[in-house]
Amino acid sequence: MTARSLLTDRRDSVTARPWRRPGRTALGPATRFAYRIAAAVFALVLWQVAVVSGLVSNAAVATPTDIVQEAAPLLATPAFGAALFDTITSWAEGLLVSLVVAIPVGLALGTSDLAYRVSRFTIDFLRTIPPVALIPVALLLYGATPKMAFALIVFGSVWPVLLQAMYGVHQVDPAMWDVARAYGLRRLDRLRFLILPSAAPFVATGVRLAATISLLLAIGAELIGGAPGIGAAITLQQQNGDIPKMWVYVVVSAVLGVVLNLALIGLERRVLKWHSAQRSVVAA
Amino acid sequence: MAKANIVGDPLIETAAQSSRPILEISDLSKTYRVGDEHNQVLVGISLQVSRGEFVCIVGPSGAGKSTLLRCIAGLLAPSSGTILLDAQPVHDPPPKLAVVFQDYSRSLMPWMSVASNVMLPLRSRGYARSEQVRRADEALAAVGLTAARSRYPWQLSGGMQQRVAIARALAYEPEAMLMDEPFASVDAQTRSDLEDLILRVRDTFGMTVLLVTHDIDESVYLADRVFVMGGSPTSVSEQITVDLPSPRDQVSTKLLPRFSELRAHVMTLIREDRVNRGV
Amino acid sequence: MAFSATVRGRGLSHRLLSVLAEVALPVIAIALWWVLSANSTSLYFPPLSKIMAAFQRIWLFGHFDSDAVPSLENLAVGLLIATAVGVAVGMLLGLLPILSDAVLPTVEFLRAVPGVALLPAALLLLGIGPEMKISLIAYGTVWPVLLNTVDGVRGVDPVAVEVGASYRLRRPDRLFRIILPAASPQIVAGMRSALSIGITVIIFSEMVGSTDGIGFQILSAQRNFAVADMWAGIVMLGVLGYVLNIGFRGLENRLLRWHRGMRNSAGS
């Protein structure tokens, strides 16, 4: 097949949209941003109208305007700060421990074919158990304490990291293993130059997945199990019948998820930049 | 094989019809807008194709041949100029035109069997299912793939896949077939077989064929007329009538001195064009 | 004759060893568990024999109808709704890139709301019946399906789309014979996510304000300090989850047989 120049691809590239004739120019970033804001506003208006009109009962759902009104004073209270702190610390501790356990184990399992085959069935089975089902067990063992949340988070978060680490090791080009052996690379060097650069992006994805799961489990442990934190605050406000305050906490939990995810993406980018730089050094 | 079987009316050539070209392109230009840049690919292209003719469009890679083909096929809007197919202006893909794409593996649907792929265009024609099956089987027979009708495209070799694409175009019963570098991705042996296949198909069904290629030998071997593209922006450098005898043969035709002359002529044009463009 | 016997023999024992390797760990683990816990007097970790007895008593088949079946039914209905809505809206958004670009940030935010945080509101709104559970499941599981559908539709090969256009296929044909099948591998991946999320949602929705379901059984056993029963419920859940996953994989294999075939032949 003839090699086509970059110019050719640009000239002849016609990405046919299913219904439109090609040739349209893309929207500028300002317009896109405006559309996005408009979509969000539209959604909020829909929400407001649904509750105000009675379509959705206001004994269960608060309007966006009420939520905003309640949010300002609530966010300043010590109770809120404590709940936020509790949730974040549970999340961070649980996530960290699960990473410390799962990454080395996952890398090791990925490297050894035998170990992988032996453990595959067990891992597959254990990871399908939804961690929420273990809330009663954790409650029995630890009561409605942060420890309960911690145990739950660790159990739930190890699996994605483990699997992603194993998968990442499997992505190493088989030819590279031969190269490593031919040059008699030591174990440690193999880890540094072969395994880590290849597995790093996958492990990063696993970390983000685990982070999401950790947050979900933290809030779940708090809401169902009663550990202190945002989840417990939601239950409390619901029991007090203060629906707007309850929804403030619900929105905060979502915002927390988004913020943590974005932070991790930023972190991932920075760490991986260093790694891909190293990878290109190895390849050269 | 009976001529009148699959293709319909156009074969009954009235005096009026045979005098007017089936395809008329006048002063076609195409400019792409990429951000703020304007990239004019084609300029002032005018050409005419008569009914039943086999026309090759040849030029170096990146000359915009595919762009031209897409405009004719109604998949791309030209910036200026007109395209008339059977005296009708082309805005959308015309029903009398079938396209065979270069990348056969992407143009055949992997979730459908070969027969279903060939039947796909017939759905919009309003035929009953039994009729669709019949026409598809005829088209497959014409390209020699009856045995493969229940298999899947990805189970077939490249050459066979392209034959399926040709069968699909045939089943559509077009008056004209556009082919976008259809044999570029197959090996040389398969390419010869496919070239002869398309010549046979043209002879059997009396179809007009417009084939885009960068392979000079192929263009001279197949065509009644060759349009050589060149310049920047691209236009038609020259139109060459290929006065080689029919039917063509991979060995004897290519041994003729006239073949070498024509070939050399086209190659010279392309070479000159490359020098002029400074590539 | 002797040669072929050796070759065959090697093949068989090789495969046998491979299977043995895979089941070795779980078998050993279970055996160890049984032995180590046999004389357990721990309140929280009763002997495995007791757990198995409780499992047999409760789930085979006494409570299966009254608890496992409602769980599965609600899960199924919720997933069905999520799939229908997710695929339909996802296709629409996938075909209208400007709209999807505008709407996706809002979608991402809605998706970030933890399902469990919406549980109290769902209870207030819909009570403790199946509607609440189904709604919560649908809410939690629609996002992976929707987002994957959008990605799948956007990723449809432009050449395939052009084929549809150049042969003047009618709109429904283009949608359901080209775009949907082309996007289906991605959509199925989204459904796989949805399944695991759905299992989580059904369990926690049964733990707060419910009168039946596997989650309810596990929690109420814990509250009554019927610890063996609690563990039996967890085992049941594990088995059910595993079976569901295998079932889904089977479904996936049938639906996407062409996809696997295509990828396998591409390697050759």
Residue A90 belongs to a domain: yes
Q: Which residues of A touch B70 (CB under 8 A)?
A: 14
Contact assignment for B214 to A2 by CB distance below 8 Å:
yes
C43 part of a folded domain: no
Does the beta carbon of B278 lie under 8 angstroms from any beta carbon of chain A? no
Q: How far is A279 from chain C (nearest CA, A)?
A: 26
Same domain, A229 and A183: yes
- Range C143-171 burial, b when 16+ CB lie within 10 A, else e: bbbbbbbbbbbbebbbbbbbbbbbbbbee
Q: Residue A281 pLDDT more than 60?
A: no
Domain total of chain C: 2
Same domain? For A205 and A265 the reply is yes
Is position A111 within any domain? yes
Q: Does residue B87 share a domain with residue B185? A: yes
Query: What would the two tokens of residue A18 be?
Result: 């299913």
Query: Are C6 and C120 part of one and the same domain?
Result: no
- Contact status, residue A92 vs residue A148, Cβ threshold 8 Å: no
Our CA dihedral for B243, B245, B246, B249, rounded to 10 degrees, sits at -110
A238 vs A281, more confident: A238
Residues A139 and A227 in one domain: yes
Q: What is the mean pLDDT of the segment spanning C110-136?
A: 92
How many angstroms separate the CA atoms of C111 and C88, rounded? 17
Nearest CA in chain B to C265: B154
Region C57-74: mean pLDDT is 85
The pLDDT of residue C267: 53
Is residue A12 in a domain?
no
- Judged by CB atoms closer than 8 Å, whether chains meet at A10 and B39 is answered as yes
Within 8 A by CB and 6+ apart from C206, the residues are C71, C133, C212, C213, C214, C215, C216, C219
Peptide bond into B233 cis (omega under 30): yes
Q: What's the pLDDT score for residue C144?
A: 94
Single out the residue of C8, B122, B77, C39 nearest to residue A22, CA to CA. Answer: B77
Give the separation between CA C194 and CA C181, rounded to whole angstroms: 19
Q: What is the CATH number of the domain that holds C149?
A: 1.10.3720.10
Q: Is residue B9 part of a domain?
A: no
Residue A189, in any domain of the structure: yes
Q: Is residue B10 part of a domain?
A: no
For residues A140 and A215, membership in a common domain is answered with yes
Amino acid at the residue B227: F
Residue A170 shares a structural domain with residue A186? yes
Q: What is the pLDDT along chain B (279 residues), one digit of tens a residue?
A: 444 444 444 545 454 455 688 899 999 999 888 777 888 889 889 999 999 999 999 987 777 888 899 999 999 999 999 999 988 899 999 999 999 998 998 999 999 999 999 999 998 888 899 999 999 999 999 999 999 999 999 999 999 999 999 999 999 999 999 999 999 889 999 999 999 999 999 999 889 999 999 899 999 999 999 999 988 888 888 999 999 998 899 999 999 999 999 999 999 998 888 888 876
Please check whether residues A39 and A172 belong to one and the same domain: no
Q: Which residues contact C110 (CB under 8 A, 6 or more apart)?
A: A254, C143
CB contacts, 8 Å: A7 with chain B: 62
- Among the listed residues B59, B88, B68, the one whose alpha carbon sits nearest the alpha carbon of residue B27: B68
| Neighbouring chains to B with at least 3 Cβ pairs closer than 8 Å | A, C
Q: Lowest mean pLDDT of A194-198, B111-115, C35-39, name the range.
A: C35-39
- pLDDT, tens digit, for every residue of C125-165? 998 889 999 999 999 999 999 999 999 999 999 999 999 99
Chain A (128-147) residues lying within 8 Å, Cβ to Cβ, of chain C: 128-137, 139-141
Say if residue A44 is in the same domain as residue A111: no
| C107: amino acid identity, one letter | V
CB-based contacts of B202: which residues, under 8 Å, 6+ apart? B52, B54, B209
* C 31-50 residues with CB < 8 A to B: none
Same domain, C17 and C58: no
In terms of domains, do C17 and C87 share one?
no
User: How do residues A16-70 score in pLDDT, each as one tens digit?
Assistant: 333 333 444 567 888 889 999 999 999 999 999 999 998 888 888 989 999 999 9
Q: Which token pair is C50?
A: 């007791």
Most confident listed range (A3-7, A263-267, B12-16, C165-169)? C165-169
Report how far residue A194's alpha carbon sits from residue A205's, in angstroms, rounded to the nearest whole number.
Answer: 19
Q: Are residues C151 and C189 in the same domain?
A: yes
- Average pLDDT value for chain A: 82
**Number of structural domains chain B divides into:** 2
User: Does residue B88 sit in the same domain as residue B200?
Assistant: yes
Specify the pTM: 0.85
What is the C-alpha to C-alpha distance for residues C229 and C51, in angstroms, rounded to an integer? 7
Query: B137 and B148 share a domain?
Result: yes
Pair (B88, B182) in one structural domain: yes
What chain C residue is nearest to A55 in terms of C-alpha separation? C125
Task: Please indicate, yes or no, whether residues A91 and A118 belong to a single structural domain of this protein.
Answer: yes
B contact residues 205-264, partner A, Cβ 8 Å cutoff: 214
pLDDT value for A218: 94
**A229 and A117 housed in the same domain:** yes
Per-residue pLDDT tens digits for A235-262: 999 999 889 999 999 999 999 999 998 9
Residue B12 lies in a domain: no
pLDDT on residue C64:
81
Quick check: C201 pLDDT over 60?
A: yes
Tokens read off for C181: 């099948």
Neighbours of A225 (CB within 10 A): 23
Asked whether the beta carbons of A232 and A226 are under 8 A apart, the reply is: yes
Q: Report whether A194 contacts A176 (CB < 8 A).
A: yes
Q: Which amino acid, C159? A: V
CA triplet A234, A236, A241: central angle to 5 degrees? Answer: 95
Residues 206-225 of C with CB under 8 A from A: 207-208, 214-215, 218-219, 221-223
In the numeric block, which tokens belong to residue C27? Answer: 């078998």
CA B120 to CA C157: how far, in whole Å?
17
* B39/A11 Cβ within 8 A: yes
The reply to whether A76 and A200 lie within a common domain is yes
A-to-C residue pairs, Cβ atoms closer than 8 angstroms: 180
Contacts of A19 in chain C (CB under 8 A): 95
Asked if residue C128 belongs to a domain, the reply is yes
pLDDT digits (tens, 9 = 90+) for A95-145: 999 999 999 999 888 888 888 888 888 888 888 888 999 999 998 888 888
Cis peptide before C61 (omega within 30 of 0): yes
How far apart, in whole angstroms, are the C-alpha atoms of residue B35 and residue B58? 30
| Same domain, yes or no: C63 and C174 | yes
Q: Are residues B199 and B244 in the same domain?
A: yes
Q: Please tell me whether residues B30 and B91 are part of one structural domain.
A: yes
Alpha-carbon distances, residue A49 vs C113, C121, C141 (angstroms): 21, 18, 25
Binary contact (A132, C203; C-beta < 8 A): yes
Of C116, C113, C133, which is closest to residue C125 (Cα–Cα)? C133
Six token digits for residue A242: 């203060």
Pairing assessment for the beta strands B80-85 and B23-34 based on DSSP bridges: antiparallel
**Are residues C135 and C13 located together in one domain of the fold?**
no
Please say which residue of B173, B195, B213 terminates a domain.
B173
How far off is chain A from C6, nearest CA to CA, in Å? Answer: 25
Note whether residue C41 is domain-resident.
no
Nearest-by-Cβ selection for A134 from C21, C234, C242: C234
Verify whether the Cβ–Cβ distance C170 to B120 is below 8 Å: no
Domain extent, residue C235, equals 48-267
Whether residue B84 is found in the same domain as residue B140? no
| Distance in Å, alpha carbon of C41 to nearest chain A alpha carbon | 15
A177 contact partners, CB below 8 Å, separation of at least 6? A194
Nearest CA in chain C to B91: C166
In tens, the pLDDT along B59-91 reads 877 778 888 999 999 999 999 999 999 888 999
Question: In this structure, which amino acid lies at residue C231?
Answer: W
List C residues 230-259 in contact with B (Cβ-Cβ < 8 A).
258-259
Assigned domain for A6 exists: no
C117 and C188 share one domain: yes
Q: How far is the alpha carbon of C267 from chain B, nearest alpha carbon, in Å?
A: 11
Q: Where does the pLDDT of residue A177 fall: very low under 50, low under 70, confident under 90, or very high at 90 and above?
A: confident
Range of the domain at A161: 64-283
What range does the domain containing B136 cover?
108-173
Which residues of chain A neighbour B101 with C-beta distances below 8 Å? Answer: none
Residue B257 is part of a domain; what is its CATH number?
Answer: 3.40.50.300
- Of B140, B173, B206, the domain-final residue: B173
Distance CA C167, CA B105 (A): 17
Split into its structural domains, chain A has a count of 2
The residue out of B133, B158, B173 marking a domain boundary is B173
Select from C165, C173, C266 the Cβ nearest to the Cβ of B93: C165
Note whether C23 and A121 are within 8 A (CB).
yes
A227 in a structural domain: yes
A45 shares a domain with A84: no
CATH number of the domain encompassing residue A275: 1.10.3720.10
Quick check: C177 contacting B, CB < 8 Å?
Answer: yes
DSSP for residue B62: T
**Touching check for C260 and chain B: CB below 8 Å?**
no
Q: Is C166 on the interface with B (CB under 8 A)?
A: yes
Same domain, residue pair A125 and A142:
yes
